[in-house]
Structures are given as C-alpha cells and as structure tokens.
Structure 1
C-alpha cells in the first residue's frame, strides 16, 4: 500500500523546442480559423447551409476564444457568394403623409434614383420658381386676354350708355365699379358733393341705387368675364411651367419603367405638382402669389415646404457591396436595431417627417448576417423582444418605443414595414444560452443551432503547429518581433499551465495574445531581434508579480506568526489543508490549519463552518460524507457513538467546495487514533463514503502555495503535498518546485485511498481488515476501531445506568 512520491518528470509536461520544425515564426503561414474547434465549426457551417426560418446561430463559450473573429470571417466568406441585396428608400405618401412609403431598388439604383430626384427638384425650382415675364410672355398673355377683353368692352359700353342716360358716368377700378353723378357736364368731386343740400344728395343716392339695380346683370357679366380671364391665364401659366417638368418626369419614367414603386412615386409627384402649382408659381415681381414670407416661416411641418416632399430618403445603400452585408455591433439598443425617426425643433415645436427616418442594424444587415453579443442584447430588454418580434413577423417596423409601452408619442409617423431576411449570429456564454433556452419558450424557435466553443484543446503536434502559426500571424498583424522556437515552446508551456492540464492547451487566444505583446515588449527592452523563452518567462513572472500583493501579504502573515501554519513536527488532530484563492486576474494556493476534536456522544460530526454559516453547500456535503465513511468502516458490529468537531482555524471568510473533505477526515482519524500527523505534509482531495480519494481543482496552485511556506520556513526533506492520483495530469508546476522535487527537498504523493494518506501522514501502517472484522494490532485502523468500540461501550454503560 505504500505510495511512491512522484518523480520530477511527472510534475509538468515541457514542449521541446527541437521538436518544432522552424527556427522562428516569420516563416509560418498565419492560421486560418479557430484552433481545435471542429465541433463548433461543423455546427456553424451546417447552419449556414440552411435557409429556412429559425436557423440562426448561438455561439456559446467563454470570452477570449475567438468566437467573434470567426463569426465575422465565416459570415464574410459565405456573404461573398450571396447576391447583393436591394437598396431601400422612404418616400412621401401623398395619400397619408404619416405613413411614408418604402421603395426597394437593385443595389446602386437607390443612390442613382435619389440623385435623379435631387436634380429634378432643381428643374422644378428653375421652371416653377422662375419669374414670368418678357416679350413672348406678354404677347401670349395678350392673345389669351384678347377675346375676354372684347366681350368685357361690349358690356362696359352698354353700362356707360345706360349710366349716361341716367346722368351718371362709370368709373371702373380694381376694387369695383362705381357710378359718379354728372353736374354741369362734369363728374362731381367728393368735395363738391359734400357741399350739396341734403335733399339733392338724397335724390342722387336714390338715382344711383336705381341705376345699380338696373345694371346689376351687366355688372355680374363683366365680373364673370374677369374671373374667366383670370382662370384661363392661370391655367396657361400652369401648362407653361408644367411642360418642362413633364418632359423631365417622362425621361425618369422611361429610365425606371421596370420598377412599379418608382413609377407610382413619379406619377404622384406629377399629380401633386399639377394640383399645387398655383401656390408655387412666382409672378414677375419675384414673390409667391399665394404665400407671403410670413406664411412660409410659420409653416410647422417640413412637408408643407415647397419640393421637400418629393425628395428620396435613401436609408440603405448597398452600392459598394460585393455580396451580402455582414454587420457587427456592440451597442444594439432598440433604436440602433430597428431604426428611428429623428426630430428637429421648429419655432419651439418638435417635428419630423420621412426624410428624417434613419436605418437600424436590421436594415443594414437585411439579406445578410447580423452579429451581436448576448450580453449587449440582454442589457437592453426592449432589444431582445424586438429581435424575436422581427424574426417572427419577418418585417422591420420602425416605431417609437413609447408607443409600445403605452406612453404618449411625440411622433405620428408610421413608416411602411420592410420585409427582412437576415441570419443572426448571437455570441455569448453557455450560461446565458441555457438560461434563455429554459426560461424563454420562444428562444429555441429562433436559435435552432448551437455552436459550442471549447476553452481547452488537445496538446498534440497539429495544435502546437497551429498555435505557432497563430503567433506568427499575430506578430505580422500587430507589427511585433517574431518568436524563435524556444519562445513558441514556452508559450505552449504557458498554455498548458493556464488550463492546468498536461494533455490540454488553453483556447483563450485573447489571453495568449496578451502574453505575446508583453513578451515582445521585454525583448524590445533588451534589444533582441527575436522573442525567446526567457522573454516569455519574464512576461509571465512580471504579470503574476503585478497582481500578487495579497499573496505576499498572506505569506508575511504566516512568516511572522500571525497566521499559524506549521511545516515541521507532529501534532494529533491537526493538519494543513489547501485551498485556492481566485482574485480574478490572479490565482494562488493558500494553506489553512484544520483541527479536529473527537469525544463520546451521539451528535456525529459537527462542522463549525456550517454552524456559523461560513461554509458553502458543497463544503457541508463533503463533511456529511465523512460520517458515512466512518460508520461503514468502523461501525459494522458496534453502534457508532461519536461526537466530533472540525474547524478551519483563523478562517473568517467563507469556504466552499469539498476538496478539503479528505483533509478533515485525516484530522478526525488522527484524533481518534491518537496518532500525530506530520505538519510538513499538506493535503488536498475529496473523499467518498467508500474511502476513495477523488480529484479536485487547482492542484498546481495549491502545491506551489504550500511550497512557498516550506521554502520560507526551511526545507527538511520530508515536506510535501498529498494529492488525488487522478490529478497527476493536472500538475503544471513551476521550475522551482520541479527542481526541489528533483533534489529531494519536496515531495508530492498521489494517493487513491484514505488508508494510503494516513500511512504517509502518520508513518504507521493503515492495516487491512481481518476475517473476524478486526484490524492488525497497532495499525491506524485498529486504533480507530478500538477507540470507537470504547466510546460505544461507555455510552451503553451510562445509558443502562
């Protein structure tokens, strides 16, 4: 049953620089695609080949695995093989101005149509807003008015004849027709009229009224002729202005005859110009006939301004694409996703119209790919619902978010929805995926493909070469010095240490990139052309040193006796356990003294940490397992009468995990057997009810943490750490620890059972169970068994009394 300490060669796996078939990374071709992610790549490519609804992709995995980079790369690869989607525009709705019309045109045609309409508006401004006048204008105008003037003159002559017979003369002004009395052969002036007697004035007034009644029909006919002449003149002016406009419109209609939406828009413009041209024509004084400057200024809506409603709002311009769009965004709030209607302040009033509609991410990615991060989406609750609604309805609806929430909206615009065809790639953690999958019944309908990225890859020749190619590609991309084969080998060693596995390497290439940059910096400081292993080692060491303040303070507290940790001698019921402290950017091992006290009673094992609520659920479970082990092994023929307490001394924070359960058991067995435990040997590992030691995490950090204490206190050659034998592959120890083991200063014991651990700790054989159920005298198990029988006998004696 004796356990042999591990040899130095088993404590870490080292990459041999001579096994790398290159001198430095400058000769290597950059790696294409993620390394060691075959499962995820297969899932993504499968999803890319499916065009049915719902086959969007959720890329799951830890940050730093290259998910976003790969998503962009593969999306662009497929996008190049896809057609360029249409351009999208919004134009004025002449029937309902609050509902702008959406127009789609082939890529590039949208920009062209907008440019053509802008040019057409300039034509309108030149033809309609140009003051009317000149010799040709006056000649044509006189010709139109000639017939009306002749008819009018006939009626005016009749009116003058009747008026003269009644003693009046006719005066025609722009304000009306008047009858002036004739006295002494001349029309009387206002001053002379005021000097007349009242009786004469009354008589003249009665005669004027009688004349007006007599000539009312003639006056009406004269006014009708004037109105007809004015209408005819206006119609002629409209036709004159419209002639040039219609010529340009016909040219545009010929150019865009293949697009029904554009044809409808142009025809609506023609009709609107004809219906409203009277408000736009400028007279020969250069002023608007129907609108004063004040009336124009007080217009509150941009759509009421001349020509603005004819413009084209190009919201999606795909003229520069060579395939489908690939859009990546890190701020997918609601308006960024769905688009929005902007506003402007006009004389204290917020206004908007179709020209202020802005495209969202769905518009930009329509016909292609939209890449988002789950954390960003879920931090905007309205965004997540908008994504699902858009995928469900297959339409992009631009609306004010306040309308969705039932609040008053400042915008009355409801742009026509645009059909959408987009494949979404959502990137996030596995935790978020499972949360959405289990708590949102709709999620599985819209993200049917999960691509799981591994955070660890196999350590094999293929992956080592790919990592070397990644290093070379990253150095070329960032302009860094290249790495020689010793530098690459050291990076491989670092990748193994990150995951604490001799058969795996980390796939978190963002973390590798950080070490590359820092290693290259040290090479630059030393003036070296290439980055070698010493620069990588320096970078790793300095990185740990920058964050090791708490670790150093802990070591100081142990050295000055503030925290009690013994690394030599033997003590009953006392042992050194090991834990891992994770500071986020820095992880280290921390020893803790664990003590146990045993006595007669029925309370079983009392976990002090659980009683004061500093122990977590998993830790409490590990303690409860101890009772099962002791009962199964030592209480088959006598009742278990045991009371015990275990405690992590000087631990004032929380503790979680069951990796100390074997350590706690060793302390209890030491107390029961009265056998002292070697304080120079620390223990980590969990245990099951059958006494088998189970693997734990952080073995490397735990060993190195205790090693530092032993180094400070002085090596005795008997110090070391007991670990589960399954954790041998997880050892990626520092050069200093490996060298100490090689020289015999420090030992690492891999054990499979509790009995093996007790033999190492006490130096006493554990003892196998004999056929009669007892154990060989003097062994660990015999001493424990006898102590428990004694407890049971004394307890029974007192119970009988």
Structure 2
C-alpha cells in the first residue's frame, strides 16, 4: 500500500498558482492523460480548471456598473412573468394569480411591478361613500362616484350643513317670520276670545256674568238693576222660581261654554298646522337655496342627486335639530348628543383623488376585518353605539378596481380570513360583517351596510408547498385561482445571462442607493451566485440574498473610504457571512482535530471508509466526513442497517442499503448463493441519517470487509449507486469536498488526500479557491467515477477484475477475493448446517 501511495502521488504534475482568470502551466504527458480520464488503469484526478468555473472580469465591456443601463430586477423568469401577465389581463372571473416560489426569489417584486405596469394603463376606479339611510338608519347606503369626486362631495355637503346651522336659525329669527308667526298666534287667540265674548254677551242678556278664573270659566247671576254679582246670601233669599230660572239659564250657558271649549284644541291644532306650514315654508326656502348649487354641481350623477333630495327633505323634516334648544336636563337614556352635521355627513371610505391609475394594494396583515372592513363602536353610558360614520374600509375596498397582493401564509394563518376572501370573490361584492356576527356568536342588532360590488385581481404569493396543499385540500381553490406563476430558483449561466445579471446588479445597486460595483466585484458576485446553486452552469435567482450581499459589501467599501464596491469588498462580505454562521462547523472540525470524533486520514483499514454528509443551517451548509464501518460474516445474505434498526435511518437511506444489497447478490451469488451477513453503521452518529448519497461508500465498505482488502483512509467518497453499480449524482458536492479538505488541511496535506465524487457531479463543482489551489499544487485531488468498480480501484489500489469467458474473475482481483471469501462463508454455513442436522438426528 505504501508503494501505491508513492506511485499515485508521482502521477501528478505541478500546477501554477491559480490566477483570476486562471492560468495554468503546460501539462506534462501524464497530466494530459490524466485530464483525459485514465491514469495507470483507473480514473485520474480532475484538473483544477474542472473544480471551479470562474467568471473572467475581462469578459465585461464596462469598468463599473455605473456605465450599465437599468433593466428589470426580475430576469430569467419568462414562464412565471407570462403567467402573471395572463392572469392580470384576463377579465373573466376566477383568473386570479398564485405566485409560487421560495422566499426571497423576487416573486413579490415581480408581481407588484407587473401589476403596477398594467395598472398604469387603466384609469383610477370609482370612489365609494357610505351615507345615512334616512328611512332605515341600520342599513346605510353605498354611494358610488367618479374618482376624486367623493372628497368634493364630502366637503360640499359639510359646507352646506355648516351654512344651514347658521342660516336656519337666522331665518326663524327674522322679522318676516316673527310677524307671520305672531299673526297666526294672534288670530288663534282672537278666535278663542271672540267665541267666549259672544257667549259672555248672551249670558249678560240673561243677567248672567261669565267670569274667568285661574282654573277656567264660571257663571254667576247678576242683580237686575246693577252690574254686580249676586252674593250667595242674596241668591238664597230669592224665590224658588227665580233660583230655578237662574240655574236653568246657567246650565244652558255651561253647555254652550263646553261646546266652545271643545273647539279650542282643534282651533289650536289648526294654528299649529299653520305655524308648521310657515316653518316648512321658511325651511324649504332656506334649504332649497343652499342645495340648489350642490344639485347643479352633481347633476350628472343620478345616485348623488337622489341622495341630495332625500337629505334635503330630511333636513326640512328635522329643522328643529338646527335651531337653538332650550336649556334643560338631558336624559341619561338618550344616545350621545351629536351635531346636526353628523346625520348628513358623507363617510368617504374609498378616496382615489390622488390616484392617476388603478390601485395596487399590498395588505401585510390580512385579517377578516382588514380584508372586508369593519364597523367601529363608541362607548356611551356602558353601551356600545355606532352609526354609518363609523364604517371603516378594508383592503378589498382600497384595491377594488385594481390589484390586491396577499401573502398566502399570512392569509391562511388568520382565523377565517381565507374563507372571507373566497366568499367575497364568489359573491362579487364586499359585505362588511363582524366576524362574531357571521359566526352567530352574538345576536345584537348592528349596522348592515349595503354591499359594494367587487371587481379586482387578487395576487397570492407563497411557497410551492402552500399552493399544492390548497390545490389538494380546498376544492374551491382552482375556481378562484386559475393561474399559477412558478418562479425558477436558478438561471442558466451563459454569456447572455451573465451580461443581463450584471445589469440587474447595477439596477439593484441604484435602487438600493449603493455604490457602483467594479467589474471584478460583479464577476465575484456571479461566481457566488453560481456557488449558491451548487452548479457551475447555473446562477442563483434569489434576489434577497443578492441584495443583502451587495448591501454588506457596500458597507465595507464605505468603511474603507472607497467610492466603488470592489471584489475584495464582496469577498469580505462573503467570508464574514460564513464566519457568522459557522460556529457549529468549527465545533465539529475542532472535535475531529482533538480526536473526539474519529476520522482517519492516513493509512488503510478494511471495512472502514470516510463518507461525507451535509448539514444545512438556515442559509449556511457545510460538509462533515463520517466514519462508516462494515462487518461481514457467514449468513443468509441480509445486510443489517444499524441506523434503521435504531430508528435513526430515514426511508431514503434504507432504500440505498437495500439497493446495494441487491447489487451484491446479483454480482456474487452464483451457484454458491449469497452466503453473507453484513452490518453497516455511521460511527459516532447520534442523530438521524437520511438520503442515499452514502450508498456508494457503504457498498465499498462491505466489499472491503468481505475481501479483507484495506481502504485508503486518505480518501473520502460520496455518491449514490444503483442495482447495476452505476454511480448516481448527489447534492451538496461542494460542501462535502470542502468538509473533508478542511480536516485534511488541518492535519497537513500530504498529496494523498482526495475525494471521490460521481462523474455526473463534475458540472456542479464550484469549490473554494484554497481547495482549487491545493489541487493545482498536487496536494489534494478530486476524482470522478461513473461505476463502483472505478471507486474500488481508487480506494484499494488493486484492479476489480471482470469475469472472463469462463465466468471466472482474474487472479488477484478484488472480485476474485470477494468471491473466494463468499465461498468460504458458504462452506462454513454448509458445515454448520450439516453439523446441526447430525446433532438433531442424534437427539431425535
């Protein structure tokens, strides 16, 4: 094994130091053969230029982003943008849009920008007001006006009512009104007095006096020759005949008096009617004069004219509310005292006077009340009272006639908000109703405002999982959201895309008021965007992380007093972001260095291999080598997955173990049968293990254990394997390579260290520059394999071997060693079985 390491190390030529762009030394013939993929019969290490695809700043024609024109922030999303445009332009019902994609992908920005562009071509929608329903105040009326007219109507109505507050009292205090009112009252008094005087004259002819007392009227007899009233004693001295005649006359006069007095209420009512008619005449004249100009101004709006007519009639009917009231005690059982203007106020719930286009509204807290509006209440003497002036609009009112953007997660997290939105869209109207009332939790009487017609486009944005869950579990969802705009997470990395990406960076810098970026800084951002995707042929479309990186780089540039953001500032921002997040990675690396976590990077051990895992912490991922061990013994062909048995292994990991078991059985069973039992475990793994990216490593460990052939511990391996031994790609390849590199670098690179990866993952390589530099200097190697046999030869240093025409593996090959060991296992099993049968026979 020692000779093998020396030979393998000697195969590598020396590379020049990595530059930007990379410049390599001329390769020696062995290096040329290595780049072609073969060296000494097995795969060669990848050349450094395959480990990183840098962005050449010289490929940019500009010096700084200040020279670049603005472009759309959202690039490379033609499918999603087309879907959004279709949904916003189709007028039919139900073509609302659900924009789906990961957070920070720019889906909200794109949806808002497209909505604003389309809205800019549309006129502002109508204003909406709520006014008093004079016939039924519990059901306020909705009033529709052209955009901007609502504010004018509210102001004009307020002015008219204020004028009437002073004009009406002035009219009723005028000389004309007083004289006419006094005349009516005087005529009423004279009429009553004339009737009484006629009766008095008739009574005098009968020598009977009509006397007015504090309690009413009374009749008294008079002396014959004098105008004096007979005293009671004198009346008693009269003869019976005289007394009876007087009493008869008085009784007749009393009947006449009663008849006259019964006419007084009717006469007074008639007088009050005349006075009321006079009041109405004065009020009509005053109010009509005030409303004449108002009606002329809104003559083109029949709905407004109808309301003004009703308001005018109601003011005339309730003129007394505008007149000064006599001082007195106010009943505690009356409602709160309100000015006359309150009854005739215009509640402008939607005002588009400042808009020049259709509204685009984003509601950040889409609760039930914030969507459809609410009715506020005022406390009065321990009770809650309300009226039409306390109606408040919701997001649907504000966006009506335009576009409403809602976060799907926030909408679904608010009680009944999702059902409220669907109900409004289905009915095509906004009906303001308290949640507790709609749920029948209370039965008190409240306002029932007239519904407002709804005509808008709703744009929901959220993660893909929310979209698919709604589509599965809510049968009404496809009815209301017929358009799905799915945002890509990555963009292709080609010359055109990089040019467009640079313009997007320039536009974003100007929007965020950041310093211009030097072209080298743009090149470093492009490389970082490619690294984020884990693919050298792709660019990240995650706008939030891009903007955050640029903001941080701008801060560092400002701290150093530069007017430009340089590549060093970008690199500093990247490194500091990693530093802030890699506490756990440092703890793991420290534990490996101190020997607390066993990871061998030297020597060779049978049945032991270095696997690679990836840990994801928020936006930061890092790789960690894991020691995988396998033990084998005679058995029935079962591979024991210890992770699964201890319930630490996930379904995907268990699937990988089963696949490698079938590969072993297929290749080595033959006539002898697959007479082996194996066990696999991730050593020092105290958490869950999932994924099949370790199946290649586990297969190699099992074969090493069976053949008793040691595996180089200076290598780590990752990859998935199928039942035919083909190596399949895995995720997190960059982090896995760097995780093992960091362990080896901390112990000292010897030139033997390296990582084996699937050949399909080569296009994903965007390694750190220190890893690439080590590869260029021959201190670290990355091998790409497409078959398990290639990996085995790298790990063991001996040929795997293929069956010849007779079906026999070559002498000294790994497969020959495995097969021979399996035959030994089979023999042991037969021996044990025979011994058991003999023992069983004796007992029997």
**TM-score, length-scaled by structure 1:** 0.93
Q: State the shift of 1:429 in Å.
A: 1.2
Deviation at 1:361, TM superposition (A): 0.9
Partner of 1:105: 145
SS in 2 for 1:609: helix
1:169–1:182 CA contact under 8 A, matched in 2: no
Q: How does 1:390-405 map to 2 (within 5 A)?
A: 390-405=424-439
1:59 correspondence with 2:94: no
Which of 218, 243, 263 is the aligned partner of 2:305?
Answer: 263
Change in CA separation of 1:227 and 1:411 when aligned onto 2, cut-off 3 Å = closer
Aligned counterparts, 1:141-160, within 5 A: 141-145=181-185, 147-160=187-200
Match of 2:11? none
CA shift for structure 1 position 419: 0.9
Deviation at 1:79, TM superposition (A): 0.7
Partner of 2:276: 234
In the aligned structure 2, how far is the partner of 1:37 from the partner of 1:135?
80
What is the alpha-carbon distance in structure 1 between the residues aligned to residue 268 and residue 90 of structure 2? Answer: 74
1: CA distance, partners of 2:445 / 2:507 = 51
What's 1:253 paired with? 295
Match of 1:287 in 2: 325
Asked whether the 8 Å contact 2:211–2:220 carries over to 1, the reply is no
CA distance in 2, matches of 1:246, 1:205: 61
1:153 Cα offset (Å): 3.0
> What value does the CA root-mean-square deviation take over the aligned residues?
2.6
Write the mapping of 1:115-154 to structure 2, written as runs, cut at 5 A.
Answer: 115-130=155-170, 132-145=172-185, 147-154=187-194
Contact 1:107 1:317 in 2 (8 A): yes
Q: Is the 8 A contact 1:181 1:187 kept in 2?
A: no
The structure-2 alpha-carbon separation of the partners of 1:78 and 1:134, relative to structure 1 and needing over 3 Å to count, comes to closer
Given the superposition, is the C-alpha separation of residues 5 and 237 from structure 1 closer, same or farther in structure 2, using an over 3 Å criterion?
same
Q: Output the CA distance in 1 between the equivalents of 2:798 and 2:463.
A: 50
Number of the residue aligned with 2:24: none
In structure 2, relative to structure 1, the CA distance for the partners of 1:223 and 1:339 (3 Å cut) is: closer
Deviations 1:603-651 (Å, cap 9, x if unpaired)?
Answer: 6000101001011111111111111100111113222121111111111
Deviation at 1:409, TM superposition (A): 5.0
Please say if residues 179 and 208 of structure 1, whose CA atoms lie closer than 8 Å, have aligned partners that are also in contact.
Answer: no
**Residues in 1 aligned to 2:445 and 2:547: alpha-carbon distance in whole angstroms:** 49
2:785 aligned to which of 745, 751, 762: 751
Distance 1:21 1:237, change over 3 A: same
Distance 1:751 1:210, change over 3 A: same
Q: Which of residues 415, 418, 423 is equivalent to 2:452?
A: 418
How far the C-alpha of 1:451 sits from its partner, in A, is 1.1
Tell me if 1:714 matches 2:748: yes
Offset at residue 480 of structure 1 (A): 2.1
CA distance in 1 between partners of 2:384 and 2:179 (Å): 49
The aligned residue for residue 124 of structure 2 is: 84
| Equivalent of residue 178 in structure 1, options 214, 217, 223 | 217
Aligned in 2, Cα 1:782/1:235: closer, same or farther, shift over 3 Å?
Answer: same
Aligned to 2:599: 565
Do the aligned residues in 2 keep the contact of 1:159 with 1:170 (CA within 8 Å)? Answer: no
Report the more deviating stretch, 53-62 or 146-155.
Answer: 146-155
Structure 1 residues 251 and 29 mapped into 2: Cα distance closer, same or farther (>3 Å)? same
Displacement, 1:223?
A: 4.1
Does the 8 Å CA contact 1:163/1:179 hold for their aligned counterparts?
A: no
**Structure 2 partner of 1:224:** 266
Say whether 1:592 aligns with 2:633.
no
Rounded Cα–Cα distance in structure 2 between residues aligned with 1:170 and 1:137 = 35
| Residue of structure 2 in register with 1:388 after alignment | 422
SS of 2:172's equivalent in the other structure is coil
* Cα displacement string for residues 560-584 of structure 1 (whole angstroms, at most 9, x for unaligned residues): 1111111000111011110001111
- Unaligned 5+ runs, structure 1: none
- Structure 2: distance between partners of 1:151 and 1:352: 49
CA distance in 2, matches of 1:129, 1:623: 97
SS in 1 for 2:820: helix
Q: C-alpha distance in 2, partners of 1:562/1:326?
A: 59
Q: Where do residues 374-773 of structure 1 align in structure 2 (5 Å cutoff)?
A: 374-410=408-444, 412-602=446-636, 604-773=638-807
1:299 to 322, 329, 334: 334
8 Å CA contact 2:168–2:286 kept in 1: the answer is no
SS at match of 1:280: helix
Residues in 2 aligned to 1:248 and 1:706: alpha-carbon distance in whole angstroms: 88
**Deviation of residue 162 (structure 1)?**
4.8
Question: Contact between 1:626 and 1:661, CA under 8 Å: does it hold in 2?
Answer: yes
Question: 2:71 aligned with 1:31, yes or no?
Answer: yes
Distance apart, 1:166 and its partner CA: 6.2
**Distance change (3 Å), C-alpha of 1:205 and 1:661:** farther
Give the CA deviation at 1:299. Answer: 2.6
Over residues 57-94 of structure 1, what are the superposed CA-to-partner deviations in whole Å (9 max), with x where a residue is unaligned? 11111111211111111111111111221111111112
1:215 aligns with 2:257: yes
TM-superposed CA distance for 1:653, in Å, is 0.9
Q: 2:134 is matched with which residue? A: 94
Between 340-349 and 145-154, report the one with greater CA deviation: 145-154
How far is the alpha carbon of 1:208 from its aligned partner? 7.7
Structure 2 length-normalised TM:
0.89
1:321 partnered with 2:361 = no
Q: 5+ residue gaps in structure 2? A: 1-40, 838-844
Cα deviation for residue 502 of structure 1 reads 0.7
* CA distance 1:502–1:222, change in 2 (3 Å): closer
Preserved contact between residue 171 and residue 177 of structure 2 (Cα < 8 Å): no
Which residue does the alignment assign to 1:776? 810
Corresponding residue SS for 1:127: helix
Contact 1:352-1:411 at 8 Å conserved across structures: no
Cα distance between partner residues in 2 of 1:237 and 1:636? 118
CA contact (8 A) 1:400 1:409 kept: no
Distance (Å, rounded) in 2 between the aligned partners of 1:404 and 1:624: 56
**d(CA) in 2 for partners of 1:166, 1:731:** 136
Structure 1 window deviating more from structure 2 (223-232 vs 20-29): it is: 223-232
The alpha-carbon deviation at position 181 of structure 1 amounts to 5.2
Counterparts in 2 of 1:652 and 1:214: CA distance versus 1, 3 Å: same
Q: Given the alignment, which residue of 763, 777, 793 partners 2:827?
A: 793
Tell me the distance in 1 between the aligned counterparts of 2:335 and 2:65.
Answer: 67
* Cα separation, 1, equivalents of 2:545 and 2:745: 30
Residue in 1 that maps onto 2:37 = none
Give the match's secondary structure for 1:294: coil
1:123·1:245 contact (CA, 8 Å) conserved in 2?
Answer: no
Q: 1:730 to 1:182 in 2, by over 3 A?
A: farther
Greater alpha carbon shift after TM alignment, 448-457 vs 232-241: 232-241
In the other structure, the counterpart of 1:344 is 378
The offset of 1:149, in angstroms, is: 4.2
Instruction: Tell me the CA shift for residue 445 of structure 1.
Output: 1.3
CA–CA distance in 1 between the matches of 2:496 and 2:810? 54
Distance 1:601 1:554, change over 3 A: same
1:155-198, Cα deviation, whole Å (9 max, x unpaired): 0212323555565443277xx6332758998999xxx99xx99x
Structure 2: distance between partners of 1:327 and 1:660? 50
**3-state SS, counterpart of residue 730 of structure 2:** coil
Whole-angstrom CA distance in 2 between matches of 1:503 and 1:554: 31
Q: Distance in 2 between matches of 1:684 and 1:58?
A: 39
Decide whether the 8 Å contact of 1:400 with 1:411 is kept in 2.
no
Equivalent-residue separation in structure 2 for 1:134 and 1:180 (angstroms): 43
Return the offset for 1:548.
1.1
In 1, the alpha carbon distance for the partners of 2:590 and 2:62 equals 45
User: Following TM superposition, by how much is the alpha carbon of 1:771 offset from its aligned partner in structure 2, in angstroms?
Assistant: 2.1
Counterparts of 2:823 and 2:749, CA distance in 1: 40
Cα distance in 2 for partners of 1:53, 1:485 equals: 48
Tell me the secondary structure at the aligned position of residue 561 of structure 1. Answer: coil
CA distance in 2, matches of 1:25, 1:567: 46
**Using a 3 Å threshold, how does the CA distance of structure 1 residues 513 and 208 change in structure 2: closer, same or farther?**
farther
